[in-house]
A = this chain, B = another copy of it.
Amino acid sequence: WEEPLLFQYKGKNRVGLAVPREDVNDRVEVPSSVKRRNPLELPELSELEVVRHFIRLSQMSYGVDVGMVPLGSCTMKYNPKVQEAASKLTENAHPLQDEDTVQGVLEMLYDMQNWLAEITGMEQCSLQVPAGSAGELAGVLMMKKYHEDKGETRTDMLVADSAHGTNPASAAMAGFKVVYVKTDHRGLVDYGLLKEIVGPSTAGFMLTNPNTLGLFEENILEIADTIHSVDGKLYYDGANLNGIVGVARPGDMGFDIVHLNLHKTFAVPHGGGGPGAGAICAKGDMVDYLPGPLVGRVDGSYSWSMEPHRSIGRIATFHGNVGNVVRSFAYLLGLGSDGVNMLGVMSTLATNYLMSRLQDVRGLQLPFPGRPRKHEVVYSVTPAYNEIGLTAEDVAKGLLDRGFYAPTIYFPPIVQESLMIEVTETEPKESIDEFARALYDVMREAYSDLKAVKQSPKRTSVSRLDYVKANHPSTFTPTFRVKRLREEGSLQVLK
């Protein structure tokens, strides 16, 4: 398809949705000082035009329902269709309704609070955070407030150099100085270095385990002891939980705070970027700092009765993305204990199986070899880059032409020309086989016909894009309004 922009539709005097009219004689106008002056420059469309337009756009989009999306650290699982039915439970509930009118919703949230606490080994969870980054922000604010309550100003937030970019960004938003902890030759936190860095100004350590290389931090108990020895707090980034669910729990490893991405580990659909859903969980003295209120249960009825004493306050306007929490609820009901206990095993099995299919592919290198991966694995195409100039991006585009979405590339930053691959336990073995074949095929083609790979993708609706034009101040066009005003000559170059 080459589907025009809605703004390029030319209909007149059309409407795609009729407005109901109630016969009340109270027509009023807004005060003239407040009245909109310019006509709204929006297209007029019938229902057919709207529907057809978006059907066509949808066919130019790639999601898990179309094929495998092996993005590392994103845990792109299959989203069971029963989840869509689940959203009916919460769909029409207003966040400020009397509690006795939403007991079903509250019971669901209460169960979820408890189940997630059990899974993470924490004492309590708040579901208010709408997604991961808000969960991280909540977590670092909790640490900040904790230290302040003690009358201390702790300036440093430790972050692994292999960490997700959100970790340092969140720490910075909370006003911390970010101190990076290097990765050692095994792909793990350099424990020796860590001991040197930790001190009285250490507020906490943000860590993910398994880490972004898919490796389990073996020294986790020692790390926790070290952080705790200065009364720092250990923070768990839940993005990578899928590799160990049912095998080990952050709480048992010494973590004090955990954020979860329900849209990763617990199968909430990613929505093309969002909405997700999150949880922030805590144990010990950190429980008092959770964003509140939480759902409590008294005499069989549920209410927002649990307010953490030293709560950092509200992190979302209402109760978080409840409409997505219920999707995870349905997912967990379907897995049950038996299924939940197999998540880590099955996702880890999938990753290691993929690795077994990718042995000895020319140009592809496995950094930090010799250790089992968990939910994901990171490869490097540095050998091919050095030999023939093939980049990770080239490989990604080559995979697109073979019907797959690309892995995460150029992350984690500690690996050059990296491909970060996560297949999840929901992809059938045959899909993994096909993906391995496709990757092998791209590498093989690169060595025989590099130009062909460099020109890919060719079978997609557009080919490689002009990013200079997209980002240059004189051509940067974030809205149709900018395009129109620029064409009219009434817009200056962005300064």
**B66 contacts A55, C-beta separation under 8 Å:** yes
**Known contacts A11-B430, A430-B9; is-contact A56 B52 (Cβ 8 Å):** no
Sort A-B residue pairs by CB-CB distance and give the 6 closest, nearest first: A48-B78, A55-B65, A59-B59, A48-B426, A11-B428, A51-B65
Task: Give the number of chain A interface residues (Cβ < 8 Å).
Answer: 29
Tell me the smallest distance from the CB of A18 to a CB of chain B, in Å.
8
Of chain B, the residue at the smallest CB distance from A49 is: B428
**B67 contacts A52, C-beta separation under 8 Å:** yes
**A47 contacts B11, C-beta separation under 8 Å:** no
**Known contacts A47-B80, A80-B47; is-contact A11 B429 (Cβ 8 Å):** yes
CA distance in complex: A9, B48 (Å): 37
CA distance in complex: A48, B78 (Å): 6
**Contact flags A59-87 to B (C-beta < 8 A → 1, else 0):** 10000111100000000001011000000
**A430 contacts B10, C-beta separation under 8 Å:** yes
Interface residues of A in 306-354 (CB under 8 A from B): 334
- The answer to whether the Cβ of A455 comes within 8 Å of any Cβ in the partner chain is no
**B48 contacts A56, C-beta separation under 8 Å:** no
CA distance in complex: A11, B426 (Å): 13
- The answer to whether the Cβ of A393 comes within 8 Å of any Cβ in the partner chain is no
How many copies of the polypeptide does the oligomer hold? 2
**A78 contacts B47, C-beta separation under 8 Å:** yes
Of chain B, the residue at the smallest CB distance from A403 is: B1
Of chain B, the residue at the smallest CB distance from A10 is: B430
CA distance in complex: A49, B428 (Å): 8
**B80 contacts A52, C-beta separation under 8 Å:** no
Tell me the smallest distance from the CB of A174 to a CB of chain B, in Å.
39
CA distance in complex: A11, B81 (Å): 21
CA distance in complex: A48, B431 (Å): 11
**A52 contacts B81, C-beta separation under 8 Å:** no
- The answer to whether the Cβ of A46 comes within 8 Å of any Cβ in the partner chain is yes
Of chain B, the residue at the smallest CB distance from A12 is: B429
**A427 contacts B52, C-beta separation under 8 Å:** no
Of chain B, the residue at the smallest CB distance from A80 is: B47
Chain A positions within 8 Å of B, measured between CB atoms, are: 1, 9-11, 14, 18, 46-49, 51-52, 55-56, 59, 64-67, 78, 80-81, 334, 403, 426-430
A-B contact pairs, 13 of them (CB 8 A): A1-B403, A10-B430, A11-B428, A18-B334, A46-B78, A46-B428, A48-B64, A48-B78, A48-B426, A48-B428, A49-B428, A51-B78, A52-B67
**Known contacts A52-B67, A59-B59; is-contact A81 B47 (Cβ 8 Å):** yes
Query: Which chain B positions have C-beta within 8 A of A426?
Result: 46, 48
Query: Which chain B positions have C-beta within 8 A of A46?
Result: 78, 426, 428
Query: Which chain B positions have C-beta within 8 A of A65?
Result: 51-52, 55
Query: Which chain B positions have C-beta within 8 A of A51?
Result: 65, 78, 81
> Apart from A18-B334, A55-B66, what are 20 other A-B pairs with CB-CB below 8 Å?
A1-B403, A10-B430, A11-B429, A11-B430, A14-B428, A46-B426, A47-B78, A47-B80, A47-B81, A48-B64, A48-B78, A48-B426, A49-B428, A51-B65, A51-B81, A52-B66, A52-B67, A55-B65, A56-B66, A59-B59
CA distance in complex: A49, B67 (Å): 9
Tell me the smallest distance from the CB of A340 to a CB of chain B, in Å.
15
CA distance in complex: A56, B65 (Å): 9
Tell me the smallest distance from the CB of A430 to a CB of chain B, in Å.
6
Query: Which chain B positions have C-beta within 8 A of A14?
Result: 428
Query: Which chain B positions have C-beta within 8 A of A49?
Result: 428
CA distance in complex: A411, B22 (Å): 49
CA distance in complex: A426, B48 (Å): 7
CA distance in complex: A14, B426 (Å): 12
Of chain B, the residue at the smallest CB distance from A68 is: B52
CA distance in complex: A66, B48 (Å): 10
Query: Which chain B positions have C-beta within 8 A of A11?
Result: 428-430
**Known contacts A55-B66, A59-B59, A66-B56; is-contact A48 B10 (Cβ 8 Å):** no
